[in-house]
Amino acid sequence: SPGVPRGRGCAGCRDVVPTSERYAVRRLPFARLRESDVAFFERLMPGRVVTGEEEVKPFNVDWLKSMRGCSQLVLKPQTTAEVSQVLRYCYERNLAVNPQGGNTGLVGGSVPVFDEIILSTALMNQVISFDKVSGILVCQAGCVLQRLSEYVEEQGFIMPLDLGAKGSCHIGGNVATNAGGLRLLRYGSLRGTVLGLEVVLADGSALDCLSSLRKDNTGYDLKQLFIGSEGTLGVITAVSILCPQRPKAVNVAFLGCQSFDKVLETFTTCRAMLGEILSAYEFMDEKCMELVERHLKLSSPVADSPFYVLIETSGSNSTHDEEKLNNFLEQAVVSGLVTDGTVATDDKKIKASHCFLFHRSLSRGFVLWSLRERITEALTHEGCVYKYDISLPVAKLYDLVTDVRARLGQRAKSVVGYGHLGE
């Protein structure tokens, strides 16, 4: 929580988050790390024990650099058996442990509060198996999402999850935080696409629920306990996940709307007219666009609009999909839902950042998805960021932005709103 200090009661900790004393968190009576503990871990995993202050520092600080722990030890196991041995030892010694994946979280949950041992999954990065018929991928928890995406794309499939942090985040961390991401509208949440998990519990015992079946009615669905548990019930070491077939036709539209009500109306019309091919619906306000343009030097294809939406369609028939998208865009313009926009209708052009205007004349190179995915990065250039991932009825979503903006006034440099409206 941004209101909770990091490192209170921990000798030598710096850069804690200021807070009132009534929110102070005290260190629980866990044991302190001893040289004999470090020696045990070095025997268990030679060369994969990190102890130097500078070497440990990146693991102690969150991505936004707003939270800092005081861990003195980072462990990098490569197998489930090693994770089991580490946790069994820590359980017997009463040593606190902080599981960590790619450390891309934005709420401080990936870094220690005090001096916990950091258990990093960075070296647990192997693909175990992939079934080209069913599209079921089994891999270790430390696999980076983007590398998994590239791997399954070569087989004709895609990951059901896509995030702005895909170049660094780990699939185990995605599952542990029940990440939603850019494709939830089309493929659903991880609670539906994750088929099985392998987990090591706090006492070191391993729980093998690594099923590769879409339907299994033989007992309790224990994996659901660990999806979204954030490492509090056990450490996820392997994941079995269902990957959809890669769509043959992908279209991206970037549109301008004059109000949030128009954003919502556009979403309603979009779902009704695009139906099964709609794969993403993202929105952002003009302040987001201003920050992206100023700090990242990206150019918006749509100028001077209070709100922007990014729509992606994906399907198996490019002619069919483009016809549906064109009909929607015509309806949106005629009815006054959108004022301007740009469309990319070729996957290679989307990735190469080339796009076409509504009348299909060649436009300057625009990175459509980058305008949305890199907002968080742009915010960090403004200073300290308080970022919240919230769930509200869509009609009320932007009310929070206007209310906070009014409440804070000049005390905040920026108050912005953006996200996955399709959720």
- Two structure tokens written together for 403: 């209310």
Predicted pLDDT at 93: 97
CA angle 69, 71, 76 (to 5 degrees): 120
Contact of 242 with 161, CB cutoff 8 Å: no
Separation CA 376–CA 370 (nearest Å): 11
CA angle 392, 3, 373 (to 5 degrees): 50
Contact of 279 with 183, CB cutoff 8 Å: yes
Select from 246, 208, 201 the least CA-distant residue to 84: 201
Beta strands in 234-277 (DSSP E): 235-242, 249-257
Predicted pLDDT at 392: 86
Indicate the CATH number of 249-420 among 3.30.450.40, 3.30.70.2190, 3.40.309.10, 3.40.50.300: 3.30.70.2190
29's CB contacts (< 8 A; 6+ apart) are 94
CA angle 152, 158, 162 (to 5 degrees): 120
Domain ranges of the chain: 19-120, 127-242, 249-420
Separation CA 89–CA 180 (nearest Å): 34
> Rounded to two decimals, what is the model's pTM?
0.83
Parallel, antiparallel, or unpaired for β 249-257 and 278-285? Answer: unpaired
Predicted pLDDT at 353: 35
249-420 matches 19-120 in CATH topology: no
Contact of 183 with 281, CB cutoff 8 Å: no
Q: What is the pLDDT along the chain (423 residues), one digit of tens a residue?
A: 333 334 333 444 444 443 333 357 889 999 999 999 999 999 999 999 999 999 999 999 998 888 899 999 999 999 999 999 999 999 999 999 999 999 998 888 899 999 999 999 999 999 999 999 999 999 999 999 999 999 999 999 999 999 888 999 999 999 999 998 888 888 989 999 999 999 999 999 999 999 888 888 888 999 999 999 999 999 999 999 999 999 988 999 999 999 999 999 999 999 999 999 999 999 999 999 999 999 999 888 898 899 999 999 999 898 999 999 999 999 999 999 999 998 987 554 444 333 333 433 333 324 788 899 899 889 989 888 888 888 888 899 999 999 999 999 999 999 999 998 877
Contacts of 394-400 spanning 24+ positions with Cβ under 8 A: 394/264, 394/267, 394/421, 395/264, 397/260, 397/421, 398/260, 398/263, 398/285
Q: What fold does the segment set 19-120 form as a domain?
A: 3.30.43
CATH 3.40.50.360 fits 127-242, yes or no: no
Separation CA 292–CA 418 (nearest Å): 12
- Please, what's the b/e burial string for 4-35 (b: 16 or more CB within 10 A of its CB; e: otherwise)? ebbbbebeebeebbebeeeeeeebeebeebee
Predicted pLDDT at 347: 52
10 Å CB burial of residue 410 (0-12, 13-18, 19+) is exposed
Largest CA distance in the chain: 73
Predicted pLDDT at 321: 92
Select from 172, 1, 8, 150 the least CA-distant residue to 100: 172
The residue type at 388:
Y
395's CB contacts (< 8 A; 6+ apart) are 264
